[in-house]
Amino acid sequence: MRVIAGSAKRLQLKTLDGLDTRPTTDRIKETLFNMLAPYIYDCSFLDLFAGSGGIGIEALSRGAKEAVFVEKNPKAMAYIKENLNDTHLEKRAATIQSDVIGALSVLEGEHEFDFIFMDPPYNQELEKKVLEYLSASSLLAEEGTIIVEASKETSFEYAEKLGFMIIKEKIYKTNKHVFLEPAGRKEIC
């Protein structure tokens, strides 16, 4: 796994061996950031269930002004910190080793994010719990976008009831990216 573009382009990222994390492949990461390219510069980015930090590091490398990484696994968090140091992006990053809901409550009132990205373990409905939290939260900027990486089978039928609308869905071989924003707002992506 590597950084695709920007100031840390081509630098390799370290990740946990085994199935504890599912790093987003370079091809999928490149597709995602091609869609986000016009909006990434100078944005504030939140990377939930961060794994090795590859998505948030890509955002920083491409010009995000800041990124916050949330990861519960201490070994994965050590890799995030090491990857931030190796890419020289640590000064624009913050890390929180915690479960996601706990971290969101710590961030509440202190931060506002242009992009909230999450890649929770598949088929456990963790994305639904996070979206339920975010529906009553001030963490998403007024023009912000939530991006969820999920299995292809994951349903987001409940999103509208929570006050979100799906503005885009990009389906890959085994998973998908779902882009959400508060209902009633002009599309960004």
Splitting the chain (189 residues) into consecutive groups of 10 residues, what average pLDDT does each group show?
Answer: 60 63 72 91 96 92 96 94 92 97 95 96 94 96 95 95 96 93 67
pLDDT at position 127 is 97
CATH superfamily to which 26-182 belongs: Vaccinia Virus protein VP39 (3.40.50.150)
Give the 3-state secondary structure of residue 83. helix
User: pLDDT at position 49, please?
Assistant: 96
pLDDT at 30: 85
- For the entire predicted model, the pTM comes to 0.89
Whether 116 and 86 have beta carbons less than 8 Å apart is answered as no
Q: Where are the domains of the chain?
A: 26-182
Q: Quick one: tokens of 109?
A: 């009132």
Residue 22: the pLDDT is 60
Q: Please give the DSSP secondary-structure letter assigned to residue 54.
A: H
Between CA 102 and CA 111 the distance in angstroms is 14
Is-contact 152 171, C-beta < 8 A?
yes
Using CA atoms, how far residue 41 sits from 34, 59, 63, 91, 118, in Å, is: 13, 8, 4, 16, 19
Please list, residue by residue across 36-56, b when 16 or more beta carbons sit within 10 angstroms of its beta carbon and e when fewer do: beebbeebbbbbbbbbbbbbb
User: Can you say how many angstroms the Cα of residue 175 is from the centroid of all Cα atoms in its chain?
Assistant: 15
DSSP 22: -
Q: What is the pLDDT of residue 19?
A: 47
What pLDDT does residue 12 have?
Answer: 66
Using the 8-state DSSP alphabet, how is residue 121 labeled? P
